[in-house]
Every structure is written in structure tokens, then in C-alpha cells.
Chains A and B, each alone.
Chain A
């Protein structure tokens, strides 16, 4: 079964610190790796995504680092703010040759708390 393993399960970071969430995958056919942010009572929302042809992607305070040989990718949140407190999910999916859709495989999530 395709899996994406996410750690840690929960994380507490002081305001202004760096939050780091890690994911590892097994299926070498995966080649699209998004991160989703979910606030209580809401659906997940796409935060940032990367494809394996680059090793890093940065959008504002959020950075994905990707290590294809290790089959690992991570989310870094710089200058973490209380408003970043949420659950974060990593995910992966194979390339959709021929236009088919397999759906995203999600990690189990990380509950992030930023303390003021």
C-alpha cells in the first residue's frame, strides 16, 4: 500500500521560531508533493507544493525541502506566528499519465501550536 509517513504528530514552537515537519514516502512513482493547512472546522487548503525536479521551493515564510534520493520532504515555517497554529498534512501523488486521477495519499497530520 502506498504510504506517506509524517512526523511529528504534534509540535509546539515559540513565536518567531522555525517549525519543521517531515514526511517520507515509499512509492517512487510519486512526483507531486503538496502541503495542506487545516484550521479547526475547515477543510484542508493547499499551502505549497513541489515537484521532484527541484530541491527547494519557497513561498513567503513557507519552504519545502525535497530529497529525492532519500525519498523525504519537509516543510519549514520561518518566523512562526500564532496564526500558523493549525494541522498540517503532507501528501503525494503519481504523475497522471493519460489523464487519470489516483487521488492524493496523505500523511496523518501534524498538529502545530505556536506559543505567543
Chain B
């Protein structure tokens, strides 16, 4: 059982370039999330999705786009990369249950992105 798989693990981009961070989960979780982690700042929510075809903005969505065409996949697109997007990006998934509580997130191992 792979859980949440992120690719690539590392990437260096030049300013203005674009790229897609891939995320796939095999747990049939409805909810998926993208977070960025900066040193000493915790994790901040970029976008989330409650199911295929449904996405919504989190706390820091500017400069990013997402899509959710299947339950398994939730790619994050960076358009016109900027140095401020240098960060470690984590994808996560969870299931909802009962009154709608998330029963814990499963995180991928992260993508370390440097924009130069």
C-alpha cells in the first residue's frame, strides 16, 4: 500500500518557468490537500479538494492552480515560478466520516522546490 506518492522529490526551476507537482493516493480518500512548508513557519494550506471535480482555495493560493479529475490524483501547477515559491510542498489526503471529522491526514514525502 503506497499511501500518498509525490513526484518529483527535488526540482530546481528558473524564474518564470512552469511545472506540475504530481500527487496520487491509493487509499480511496475523498479529501486531498496541498501544503507548503517554510522553515519556522509550519505548514500552510494552498488548495484542497473534497472530491473529483471540486477544488477550493486555502490560505496561500496565489501563483498556484490545481485540478482533480479523479479521486486518486491531485496535481499542483506552478505558473511563472517566483523565488517566493521556493519551499517544500506536501500533498496529503484524508477520509471524512461520521459528522464529517477528518480522521487524520496521510502526507506524502514532499517535493523540495528551489526557484532561482
Do A and B assemble together? Answer: yes
> Which residues of A does B touch, CB under 8 Å?
1, 6, 9, 32, 34, 36, 41-46, 49, 51, 89, 93, 95-109
Partner of A44, one of B99, B101, B107: B107
Measured CA separation A45–B92 after assembly (Å): 10
* A-B contact number at CB 8 A: 75
A40 to chain B, nearest CB (A): 11
10 closest Cβ pairs, A-B complex:
A96-B100, A43-B107, A46-B104, A106-B42, A103-B45, A108-B42, A106-B43, A101-B31, A101-B50, A103-B48
Do A100 and B100 contact each other (CB < 8 Å), given the known contacts A108-B42, A109-B42?
Answer: yes
Within 8 A of A (CB), among B74-104: 90, 92, 94, 96, 99-102, 104
Known: A36-B105, A44-B107. 10 other contacts (CB 8 A): A41-B109, A43-B107, A44-B90, A51-B101, A89-B43, A95-B99, A96-B102, A103-B58, A104-B102, A104-B105
> Which residues of B does A touch, CB under 8 Å?
4, 31, 33, 35, 40-45, 48, 50, 58-59, 90, 92, 94, 96, 99-102, 104-110
Hey, which chain A residues are within 8 Å of B33, CB to CB? 101, 103
Partner of A101, one of B40, B96, B108, B110: B96
Measured CA separation A49–B59 after assembly (Å): 23
Would you mind naming 24 contact pairs between A and B with Cβ atoms under 8 Å apart?
Answer: A41-B110, A42-B110, A43-B90, A43-B92, A43-B109, A44-B105, A46-B104, A46-B105, A46-B106, A51-B101, A89-B43, A96-B101, A96-B102, A98-B100, A99-B100, A100-B100, A101-B31, A101-B48, A103-B45, A103-B58, A104-B45, A105-B45, A107-B42, A108-B40
